[in-house]
Every structure is written in structure tokens, then in C-alpha cells.
């Protein structure tokens, strides 16, 4: 495109209206005639301004801008658009791409996760313990700092970093390519019926990677009401921190119900079922919110479909690692460190015999059982609020602590990984878990408060205590109601 400034000329077209016949000039008479004139006008003065400005701009552009022939590019865009938004191909393409990204994230993260865990947990942790022993650090300081703060932080890094380092760049590539707005375009009809914006599909997909990043991704929604809906419901997108929990529990309890050759398929369907339930809940809750508490918020719709462009791979990887991965990880670490201290302290401070953890578990157990869960699970969800990733290790540690399993675990307040699915299953059995516990844990993992990183992000994005509280408490309340109902119905029939 070339611009020839000399031919632009003087602006024209902004000619004033016919002057009003009002010879005696004083302030009051001018104001009176202005007021009368405003009442006569059938259109809005500001709109006429905008119209005139656009008109002038396009007049200038027409005279001084010449365009090279862009037809080939345009036709290619059109062909791609026809395919990815077509009635028959649109949805399958989306489904395949998204499943592929999720699969790559979940299965691809295992190897690097294991490697980081080997270094941070298998090598650095014993070495730190050794140093502490060498300088004869008091046992409580050693426990608090190394078994509490360090271990929780290292754990969060090893399980959080690899999936995010895979998911975010892939997602950003699709974004950069120009494909994601087409997804919003395809899905808007469904979201519209729930009172939401098609772009919520993008923040929701991001939520499958990480809810905190998903909440940030709602910035693309420029309509206040729909953006709040997307923020509040993002928690129903099963995040990376919860997929491993779902897969572990489904493998042990649901897969164990059927013959070995079917186990993989059945447990995978159970996990997918939970994720789909999350999607369904997103729509139901969006629908309810848009008709009740968010009714008065401003709602507008606009969706631009930018031209496709080849993705800038290196730049994308760089920015997605810095902007998203490191950012989210840093926030998680900031919250994980104190939580590690809390986890160690509740297991090691004793009040008249039992530790605080045991007291709390004992106290919450009746309530937990009413929900088809138990006290251990509830306490784990309270102390492991910084990251869903450390819920299972905390549950295992607390189970060993309370069920008195000998020969397992690393000691009070020390999170551990039993090493194999069978060993984990044995610990759950020792903790008195049943199929109901497993099903309700899967449901509660989907419907509970967002992690502290997400809660903090919601507060930063909305700037409102009210919406943050709603987004945090509503899912827990729903989780309590659902698990309670399931437990009662289950006990009625089983």
C-alpha cells in the first residue's frame, strides 16, 4: 500500500449548518437557541461527528492510497475460512485440534516432569537434608524449611512447569495463526444461548491448561457482562493441575471395575466425562448468572476475524514462556512456599498428643463422610489451596499420618509419591476409600474453589471483592451440594 500525501488536499464536507436567525447576540439567547436546536434534532450530534470524520477519512484514503493487487492472499483466506467455519468440517477440525493439544500436553509432560522431579526431589532434597544435618540445624527448622517450604515449591515446579511449557506455546501458535477467533465464531451460537460470548470458548480452552491463565485470557472479551461470566465460570474448565488427579483416581477405582483390557478405555471415558460435565456446568452457570446477578451489566457483541498469517514461531514460544508460563509459575510458587510451611506445621505441631492435622481431620470427618468424602480429603483441599497439583501428595501424606500405615511415606508433613499406582491404591484402601469416595473426589476436584493463584488473578482482573468471592465460593457450594446428593443416593441403592 502506498500513500500519496500531496493529493490529500484540504478537508471538506464539514460544512456548518444553516445559521439560525438570531440577531441579538448575548449568552442567554445563544444558549436558548442551542437548546431549541437540540430539541429539534432527530439524530445525535456525536454520531454526526463520527460519521463526518469517517467520511472525511475515507475520502482522503480514496484519493491518496493505491493498493497492490491482494486478491491471491484474500482468496486463500476465504478458502481456509470456508473450510474451518463450514457446517460439516468446522466442528470436527476444532475437536481434533483441541484433543491433540490436550493429549500432547498431558502425555508429553510426563517425561520432563519426571526428570525435574528426579533432580529437585530425588537429588536436591536429600542433599539439602544432608547439609542441614552437617551444620546441625534444629530438627524443626530443617523440617519447616526443607520438608515444608522447599518440598512444596519444588513439587509445584516439577508438576506445573512442563504441561504449561507445552500447552501455552501450542495455544499461542493457534492464536497467532488467526484460527482461534474462528473457533469463537463457530461456537458463538451455543454461548449466546447461555448468555455468554463466543470468545469465552477461547478463555475456556485456556482454562483447560490453567485457570489463572484462562481468567487473564478473558481480557479479549470486551463486553463487561460476558467477561465476568467467563471469569466466574472458568473454574469449571478442568485445569492441568486436576487432570492428573482425575486420571489417577479413575485408573485405580473406575478402571479396576472392569476387565484389564477395557480398563484403559473405561477410565479414560470417566475422565473425559468429568471434563464434559465441567463444560456443561459452564453453560448452565453462565445461563443462570446472565439472568440473575449479572443482569444489569453492559453487554455488547463484537468479534473481529483477522486475516490469517504465518505464525512467528520463535517469538511465540518466547512470549508464551515469559508472559504466561513464568508468570503463572511465579505466582504459584509465591503461594506454594507458605502453604508448604503450613502443611508441615499442621502435621508436626501437637496439641495434647495428636497433631493439629489429626485434630482437624477428626473434627471434619463426620462432615466429609456426609459428602461421601472424608476428613483427610477436606483438610488436603484446605491446605493445598495454592495448587491443585499438590492435593494428591498431601492426601497421601495425611492418610499415612492418620491411618498409621507402617513402612510408607517420608514422615509427618513430608509430601511423597509412592512410586507406583499399586502402592497408591494400597494407601487409599488403607485410608478406607470406596468407589463412592473416588467418584465424589472426582466430582469435588471439578467443583471446588479455584486455587489461590486463580483467586488472586480474579481479584486483579475484576478489582472487586464481590465477584472474587462469588467466583471462589459458588463452586465449593455446588461441590458440597452435588457430592452430598450423590452420597445420599448412592447409599440408598448400594
Partner 1 sequence: MESIFSQPLFWVFVFALLFAAAFWPGRGPFWRRLQKNQRQQRVLIEDGLKHVYTFRQREIPVTVESLAGAVELNRSQASELIAEMEESALLHYGESGLELTPKGEALALHVVRAHRLWETHLADTTGLAPTDWHSQADRKEHSLSPAEVDALAASLGHPVFDPHGDPIPTEKGVDAPPSFALTEAKPNQTLRIVHLEDEPPVVFAQLVAEGLHPGMAIQLIEKTDQFLHFVGEGEERRLAPQLAANVSVRPVRNHNGVMLGGAQPLNSLRVGEEAKVVAVSRACRGPERRRLMDLGILPGAAIEVAMPSPMNDPVAYRVRDTLIALRNDQAQMILIERT
Contact of 450 with 458, CB cutoff 8 Å: yes
When binding is defined by CB under 8 A, the residue of 136, 261, 302, 406 that contacts partner 1 is 302
Q: Is 136 in the site for partner 1 (CB under 8 A)?
A: no
Min dist. Cβ of residue 286 to partner 1 (A) = 15
**Over the range 282-321, which residues count as b (16 or more CB within 10 Å of their CB) and which as e?**
bbebbbbbbeeebeeeebeeeeeeeebeebeeeebbeebb
Q: What is the DSSP letter of 235?
A: G
Interface size with partner 1, residues (CB under 8 A): 42
C-beta of residue 139 within 8 angstroms of C-beta of residue 348: no
Q: Which of 138, 259, 296, 353 binds partner 1 (CB under 8 A)?
A: 296
Cβ at position 87, least distance to partner 1 in Å = 5
Q: Is 91 in the site for partner 1 (CB under 8 A)?
A: yes
Q: What angle do CA 457, 470, 346 make, to 5 degrees?
A: 70
Residue 201: CB minimum distance to partner 1, A: 12
For residue 274, report the phi and psi dihedrals to the nearest 5 degrees: -65, -45
Mask for 176-215, x = binds partner 1 (CB under 8 A):
---------xx-xxx-x-----x-----------------
All three cell numbers of 327: 508468570
Distance CA(62)–CA(7), nearest Å, equals: 10
Using CB under 8 A as the binding rule, whether residue 38 contacts partner 1 is answered as yes
Residue bearing cell 542433599:
127
**Position of cell 551444620?**
135
Q: Grid coordinates standing for 237?
A: 474448565
- Per-residue exposure over 412-438, b if at least 16 CB sit within 10 Å of its own CB, e if not: bbbbbebeeeeebbebbeebebeebbb
Q: Considering only 46-54, 271-279, 280-288, 462-470, which stretch makes contact with partner 1 by CB under 8 A?
A: 46-54
CB 273 within 8 Å of CB 322: no
Does residue 42 bind partner 1 (CB under 8 A)? Answer: yes
Termini Cα distance of the chain: 73
> In this complex, which beta carbon is closest to partner 1, that of residue 186 or of residue 445?
186
Q: Which is nearer to partner 1, 198 or 255 (CB)?
A: 198
- Residue 63 interacts with partner 1 (CB under 8 A)? no
Assess 55 for contact with partner 1 (CB under 8 A). Answer: yes
- Minimum CB distance to partner 1, residue 448 (Å): 30
Residues 215-254 that bind partner 1 (CB under 8 A): 222, 224-225
The candidate with the shortest Cα–Cα distance to 389, out of 126, 127, 218, 151, is: 151
Q: Give the nearest distance from C-beta 86 to partner 1 in angstroms.
A: 7
Binding status of residue 51 toward partner 1 by CB under 8 A: yes
- Phi (first) and psi of residue 2, to 5 degrees: -120, 145
What is the CB-side half-sphere exposure of residue 424 using CA atoms within 13 A? 20
Closest to partner 1 by CB, 78 vs 460, is 78
Q: Is 381 in the site for partner 1 (CB under 8 A)?
A: no
Query: Minimal distance in Å, beta carbon 152 to partner 1?
Result: 43
Cβ neighbours around 408 below 10 Å, total: 17
> For partner 1, which is the closer residue by CB, 198 or 340?
198
**Closest separation between CB of residue 263 and partner 1, Å?**
36
Q: CB of residue 302 vs partner 1: minimum separation in angstroms?
A: 5
Stretch that binds partner 1, among 300-308, 435-443, 454-462, 484-492 (CB under 8 A): 300-308
Distance CA(303)–CA(40), nearest Å, equals 36
- Please, what is the minimum distance in Å from the beta carbon of residue 283 to partner 1? 15
Interface with partner 1 (CB under 8 A): 38-40, 42, 46-47, 50-51, 54-55, 58, 78, 81-82, 85-87, 90-91, 185-186, 188-190, 192, 198, 222, 224-225, 295-307
Amino acid at each position: 500500500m502506498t500513500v500519496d500525501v500531496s493529493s490529500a488536499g484540504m478537508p471538506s464536507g464539514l460544512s456548518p449548518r444553516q445559521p439560525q436567525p438570531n440577531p441579538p447576540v448575548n449568552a442567554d439567547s445563544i444558549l436558548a437557541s442551542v437548546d431549541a436546536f437540540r430539541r429539534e434534532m432527530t439524530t445525535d450530534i456525536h454520531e454526526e461527528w463520527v460519521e463526518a470524520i469517517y467520511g472525511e477519512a475515507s475520502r482522503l484514503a480514496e484519493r491518496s492510497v493505491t493498493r497492490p493487487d491482494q486478491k491471491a492472499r484474500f482468496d486463500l483466506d476465504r478458502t481456509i475460512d470456508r473450510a474451518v467455519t463450514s457446517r460439516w468440517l468446522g466442528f470436527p477440525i476444532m475437536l481434533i485440534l483441541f484433543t491433540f493439544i490436550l493429549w500432547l500436553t498431558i502425555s508429553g509432560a510426563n517425561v520432563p516432569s519426571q526428570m525435574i522431579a528426579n533432580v529437585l526431589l530425588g537429588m536436591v532434597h536429600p542433599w539439602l537434608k544432608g547439609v542441614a544435618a552437617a551444620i546441625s540445624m534444629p530438627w524443626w527448622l530443617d523440617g519447616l524449611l526443607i520438608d515444608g517450604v522447599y518440598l512444596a515449591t519444588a513439587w509445584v515446579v516439577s508438576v506445573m512447569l512442563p504441561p504449561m511449557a507445552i500447552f501455552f506455546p501450542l495455544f499461542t501458535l493457534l492464536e497467532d495463526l488467526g484460527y482461534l477467533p474462528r473457533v469463537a465464531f463457530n461456537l458463538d451460537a451455543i454461548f449466546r444461548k447461555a448468555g455468554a460470548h463466543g470468545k469465552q470458548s477461547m478463555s475456556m480452552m485456556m482454562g483447560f491448561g490453567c485457570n489463572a491463565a484462562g481468567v487473564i485470557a478473558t481480557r479479549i472479551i470486551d463486553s463487561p457482562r460476558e467477561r465476568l461470566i467467563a471469569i466466574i465460570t472458568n473454574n469449571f474448565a478442568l485445569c492441568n493441575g486436576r487432570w492428573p488427579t482425575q486420571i489417577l483416581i479413575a485408573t485405580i477405582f473406575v478402571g479396576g471395575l472392569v476387565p484389564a483390557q477395557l480398563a484403559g478405555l473405561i477410565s479414560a471415558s470417566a475422565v473425559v466425562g468429568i471434563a464434559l460435565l465441567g463444560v456443561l456446568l459452564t453453560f448452565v452457570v453462565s445461563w443462570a448468572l446472565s439472568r440473575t446477578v449479572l443482569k444489569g451489566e453492559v453487554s455488547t457483541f463484537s468479534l473481529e476475524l483477522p486475516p490469517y498469517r504465518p505464525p512467528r514461531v520463535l517469538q511465540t514460544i518466547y512470549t508464551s514462556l515469559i508472559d504466561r508460563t513464568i508468570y503463572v509459575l511465579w505466582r504459584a510458587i509465591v503461594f506454594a512456599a507458605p502453604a508448604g510451611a503450613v502443611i508441615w506445621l499442621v502435621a508436626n505441631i501437637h496439641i495434647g498428643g495428636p497433631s493439629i492435622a489429626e485434630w482437624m481431620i477428626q473434627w471434619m470427618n463426620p462432615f466429609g463422610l456426609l459428602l461421601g468424602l472424608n476428613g483427610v480429603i477436606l483438610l488436603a483441599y484446605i491446605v493445598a489451596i495454592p495448587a491443585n497439583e499438590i492435593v494428591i501428595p498431601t492426601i497421601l501424606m495425611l492418610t499415612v499420618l492418620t491411618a498409621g500405615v507402617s513402612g510408607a511415606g517420608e514422615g509427618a508433613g513430608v509430601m511423597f509419591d509412592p512410586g507406583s499406582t499399586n502402592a497408591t491404591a494400597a494407601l487409599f484402601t488403607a485410608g478406607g476409600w470406596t468407589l463412592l469416595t473416588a467418584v465424589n473426589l472426582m466430582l469435588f476436584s471439578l467443583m471446588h474453589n479455584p486455587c489461590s493463584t486463580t483467586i488472586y488473578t480474579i481479584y486483579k482482573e475484576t478489582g472487586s471483592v464481590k465477584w472474587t468471592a462469588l467466583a471462589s465460593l459458588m463452586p465449593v457450594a455446588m461441590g458440597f451440594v452435588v457430592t452430598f446428593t450423590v452420597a445420599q443416593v448412592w447409599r440408598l441403592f448400594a
